[in-house]
Amino acid sequence: MRAVIFDLWDTLVEWPVAEAARLRARIAELVPVDEEEFGRRWHEVYRASQTGPLAEAYRALGVPDEHIESHVRARHAFGRQVLRPRVGAAAAVAELRRRGLKTAVISVCSEEVPAAWPETELAGLFDVETFSSECGLMKPEPEIYRRTARALGVETHDCLFVGDGANDELLGAWRVGMTPVLFLPAGNAPLWPEVRGWAGEQVSSIEEVLELC
Ligand SMILES: [Mg+2]
């Protein structure tokens, strides 16, 4: 292996379920439709929210114009607040680099993640950061993995890809020739149907990735 590529949410950083639900509920209050219709719209704008400006996604949801800016700001504040690596993760990534491996992140995320990134403990840890909101691509699209490998200067088959499995990201990595590794903390059941019964490589901490390299 020459490189290790990590997923962000629920891999390097825990997804803040309650905080995210709170933001969603505050937005739902502004959209004059029932819960079912709001859920349908939320699902419909998911891709747009992860690959383009949040303001446009909120507008498509039906958030009134006068409220869009404050909700975009709230999401940016959320990013600054929650983007903290798991205990031990930053040291493990630094150790991978000390051993001569390249490191990267590929994240399906909205614009607040790259905006907050430089101020977080994650800044400077990776050779390449690929954010869906900046490149307009999502996992498991092949090109998001390939462009990251190209930016690292390695072949896809030289890469481990470590993630919790959302967005079918593990099979997506495998399809382009990367070695997928399921990240599943001890005691957790797989959250995503795609990874139930996963028979490939698996780690329960970011430190354990060091044993695979
Ligand atoms: Mg994830």
* CATH number where 174 lies: 3.40.50.1000
Q: In the prediction, which pLDDT does 187 show?
A: 86
203 within 8 A of 183, measured Cβ to Cβ: yes
Q: In the prediction, which pLDDT does 182 show?
A: 97
* pTM score: 0.97
What is the CA(99)–ligand 1 centre distance, in A?
25
Cα distances (Å, whole numbers) of residue 57 to 47, 53, 175? 9, 7, 30
Considering 82, 111, 127, which residue would you say is the last residue of a domain?
82
Whether residues 152 and 205 share a domain: the answer is yes
What is the CA(165)–ligand 1 centre distance, in A?
6
Q: In the prediction, which pLDDT does 186 show?
A: 87
What is the CA(177)–ligand 1 centre distance, in A?
20
Whether residues 87 and 190 share a domain: the answer is yes
- Regions of the chain with pLDDT less than 70: none
Considering 61, 82, 103, which residue would you say is the last residue of a domain?
82
Whether residues 197 and 92 share a domain: the answer is yes
Q: How many CB atoms lie within 10 A of CB 70?
A: 12
Give the integer Cα–Cα distance in Å for 106 and 86: 17
Q: How many domains does the chain have?
A: 2
What is the CA(132)–ligand 1 centre distance, in A?
13
Residue 35's domain comprises: 17-82
